[in-house]
Structure 1
Amino acid sequence: MTATPFSATLWNESERWSRDQLVAHQSDRLRSQLRYVSERSAFYAARFGELDWSPEDVAGLDSLAELPFTRKYDYVESLSAAPPWGSAIAADPESIERIHFSSGTTARPAPLFWTGGDIERWTENYARMYYGQGIRPADVAQVLYTFSWFVGGSAAVQGLQRVGAASIPAGSRDSERQIETMMHYRTTVLPATPSFVFHLLEVADGMGLDLRDSAVRKIVLGGEPGGSVPSTRSRIQDGYGAEVFDTYGSLEFQPIAWECTAHDGMHFAEHSAVVEILDPVTDEPVPDGDPGVVVLTHLHREASPLVRWWTGDVAVRDSSPCACGRTTARLVGGVRGRADDMLVVRGVNLFPSAVEELVRQAEGAAGEYLIVLDETVKDPVSGYLTGIKVRLEARSDAPVDLGSAVAAAIHARLGVRAHVEVVAYGELPRSEHKAKRVVHV
């Protein structure tokens, strides 16, 4: 069902609220949500009971610091305690209209649940995002997220329908057919993972096609880091001749943040969640500009509400005004990585995305890479990393010193010693969904 936007640039009037208005809304919703959760969720009722704490004690957003984090293993244990719905559910099973599962990249796949009201609110969030990226009823969007278990595909389609755009739920397989469909229906928008749109560039080249000749004008990236990595973003923009937007979401909260047409970071969905950026060691808030772990609390969720959900994702917040007129804080520089994916090499904190930036800007590199952690880069006594091994694909015209050049760049920019192994184009595995960039051998 198509809805009427607030203005030519804003989907909802709340996007231009003052910070005081927004915080007042969040505080009011937080009290209501915590009251609902304590009454309806056995998991949270038990947690809050242990603290001798009541939702009526909430004085404002700072009151969240009194509550414990909810981590993935806490949620998985709640499912095991009362299968199949778990003890964290806060709605009657008869009211559940949708079940989606996690991708299982960091733990056993786990379900979350949605009522009709939850689905309506997520649809509105996606509509805000797509409208804010300039997507309109005249657009044809070919949704390249997987529709098997993963939440992103169906949520994208619903948001696109809400703004009035035509959507093709294409999924992430049959690469040649995707390109043929793109050209035949003059697709204008591609919501997809960075790795898959990158892969389609290679497939199109093999078909003798230049995707700059397609009608694609906007590419909305999500599902994995990369959309804010400058070299990855530049190669996608140049390959399609299209405007690129990064987004950030998860099964538990979607979307969390999205880029607007000002391209100055991703706006947090602060109307529907409280966003904390915390030091992963001290659990204390970090100032704007410093990296920390994203911690989220639902403000209006019925079936699977989460309080202080520890995402594990590392990001930086900027609360300064955006040129687009929206007043929400922004995630800048993209998601840096996961706190549990961070590599520590001789005391240097290293995220795979930092390596990706250097690999994809290297002359002669095809773009695909893999970080291999084996015995050759570990101290034989302590097991600590002394460096990294990188496998990267080379184009046929790559210079003979490609490997040494990338190794030198990694050492100069990141302060880490690297052994770079250059392999032939096509030798590394491709991903149709979330690319795996680090392997332990």
Structure 2
Amino acid sequence: MMDHSPYWNPKTETLPREELRQLQLAKLRRVAEWADARSPFYQRSFRAAGFSPDQLRSWADIERIPFLTRDEWMQSQIAYPPYGELPVAGAESAVRMHTTSGTSGKMPLRALDSRKDWKWSAEMWSYALWGVGVRPSDVGYIAFGYGSFIGFWGLHYGLEKIGAMTIPGGAQTTAGRIKQIIDFGVTVVASTPTYALRLAQEAQELGIDLRGSAVKTIILSGEPAGSIPETKALIEEQWGAKAFDTAGMTEVSTIFMFEPADQPGGCHIIEDHFIEQVIDPETGKELGYGERGERVCTSFGRSMIPLLRYRTADLVQKMPSSRASNGRTWDLYEGGILGRVDDMKLVRGTNVYPRAVEGIVRTFGSIEEFQLRITREGIRDEITLQVEPSPSVNDEAWRELSSRLAAELADAHEGLRFIVDRAETGSLPRFELKAKRLTDLRPAL
């Protein structure tokens, strides 16, 4: 790969759409045949739906494949522990086992990868790393405590694959990571958006000027906040570096989209390795360009656990490749992952999206952390925003800050009144992995 090329794989990244469709259909047939021949789960699922892989003759036939849900995967895992009946082979054929984060409160899914699968995972990250401008001369730092959660494991191997020096952050303090980033002349940092902001706060407390460091690129993943313009702008201002969004999931073992350096604001789907559909979460009907709906993923790269028409519960909005100006023919997710389909909360007749709240909060540079809490007081719902301002905010400044914040939240939510409370310095939780900032304490209906 020539360093000056913007593409990791020029042939497939610029493949004409009709040829891309033909490639996807051919790969889809192979994956469906593989799953039908070797996975007990898919054998039952296909028979119940009246589906056979030989029915995949045209693009429209993808609708014949039944959806796979997280609950179905989990129930299979519970019934046939520890890995369920989706895998096409036993654990002795795997070299990797990873889990979902468990931050949603649900039992983590367990996923297996063969040696071939894991090489593929690194390849997908290489698309993204190269696309954001990372090159063999870079020094990459992964600010992440490695464990069974898949996290940035694939990125680690992607950095190695393209030839960049790779430094794992490991299990250490935030201050320790900041010092390593400076001492080792790191040029690329990978973290969640929340932790990128936490690192910047720690650097400020240590008297370290991140803007004057060697860091030029921040790779964000793990949270929808990576595509919230206000959050990204704050990260870039604090680091003096460009930030780029990516998104992946344990279920596919890697990433499926990335925001390249030459296409800000939109994330390309890696379409030579995935089919991404957007459906109405209520009806299951596929939606068109520009319509928001639930993301459904089909993966061509994971052989141990085939993934066909997996309902992710991610909220997305797909736009055509013609919107891109960088020569890639892959479709885009406008604004990346917009949140979760079930993230929306109804409070006194008004829809509240955590992403929208964060977009407002991040315009206030003096706010270090925040939490949303929804309660029911008698028959009335209340929504409270707990805000932890920086220590320099005195009482007078806080009154002005809280007043402006409450007004902007109300303006963006049809006049809904948010209670804005001040939290003590350091009292709100900090997150290295996926942040959990919304708690709904209302009794279940």
TM-score range, shorter chain: over 0.9
Aligned residue in 2 for 1:401: 400
State how far apart, in whole Å, the 2-side matches of 1:283 and 1:173 are.
44
2:195 maps to 1:196: yes
Question: Secondary structure of 2:423's match?
Answer: strand
Q: Which residue of the partner structure matches residue 358 of structure 1?
A: 360
Q: Distance in 2 between matches of 1:351 and 1:111?
A: 29
Unaligned runs of 5+ in 2: none
- Which of 337, 343, 347 is the matching residue for 1:335? 337
- The yes-or-no answer on 1:289 pairing with 2:284 is no
- Paired amino acid for 1:339: V
Distance 2:73 2:384 in 1: 35
C-alpha separation in 2, matches of 1:19 and 1:120: 26
Matches within 5 A, 1:74-113: 74-106=72-104, 107-113=106-112
TM-score under structure 2 length normalisation:
0.93
**Cα distance in 2 for residues equivalent to 1:78 and 1:151:** 21
The change in CA–CA distance for 1:347 and 1:29 in structure 2 (over 3 A counts) is farther
Cα distance between partner residues in 1 of 2:28 and 2:382: 45
C-alpha distance in structure 2 between counterparts of 1:180 and 1:6, whole Å? 29
Q: Which of 6, 25, 28 in structure 2 is aligned with 1:27?
A: 25
CA distance in 2, matches of 1:412, 1:387: 17
Partners in 2 of 1:113 and 1:103 — Cα distance?
15
How many residue pairs match? The answer is 431
- 1:46 paired residue number: 44
Deviations 1:343-396 (A, max 9, x none): 12244332211100111113x6414110011224xxx45xxx745211112232
Q: TM-score, normalised by structure 1?
A: 0.94
Going from structure 1 to structure 2, the CA distance change for 1:407 and 1:308 (only over 3 Å counts) comes to same
SS in 2 for 1:197: helix
| 1:256 alignment counterpart | 256
8 Å CA contact 1:293–1:314 kept in 2: the answer is yes
- Secondary structure of the equivalent of 2:387? strand
Contact conserved, 1:143 with 1:168, CA < 8 A, in 2?
Answer: yes
Deviations 1:226-275 (A, max 9, x none): 11111111111011100110111111122011000121411112111110
Contact 1:260–1:267 under 8 Å retained in 2? yes
**Deviation string for 1:284-315 (max 9, x for gaps)?**
12222221111101223210112111111101
Identity of aligned residues (%): 32
Could you tell me how far 1:32 is from its partner in structure 2?
1.0
Residue pairs, 1:177-192, within 5 angstroms: 177-192=176-191
Counterpart residue type for residue 118 of structure 2: I
Q: In the alignment, is residue 138 of structure 1 matched against residue 140 of structure 2?
A: no
CA 1:225–1:315: 2 relative to 1, 3 Å: same
| Residue 419 (1) aligns with residue 419 (2) | yes
Q: Which residue identity does 1:169 align to in structure 2?
A: P
Match in the other structure for 1:323: 325
Residue 126 (structure 1) aligns with: 125
> What 5-or-longer segments of structure 1 have no aligned partner?
none
Residues 30-54 of structure 1: per-residue CA shift (max 9 Å, x gap)? 1111011011100010011112321
Match of 2:5 in 1: 8
Question: Are 2:150 and 1:151 equivalent residues in the alignment?
Answer: yes
Give secondary structure in 1 for the equivalent of 2:305. coil
Provide the C-alpha distance between the structure 1 equivalents of 2:98 and 2:310, rounded to a whole number of angstroms: 18
AA aligned to 1:408 is A
Cα deviation for residue 147 of structure 1 reads: 1.1
Distance 1:48 1:238, change over 3 A: same
Q: Give the drift of 1:404.
A: 2.3
Contact 1:71 1:311 in 2 (8 A): yes
How far is the alpha carbon of 1:6 from its aligned partner? 9.3
Q: Residue by residue, what CA displacement relative to the aligned partner does 1:76-130 show, whole Å, maximum 9, x if unpaired?
A: 1111222223111113433211110111123201210101111111111111110
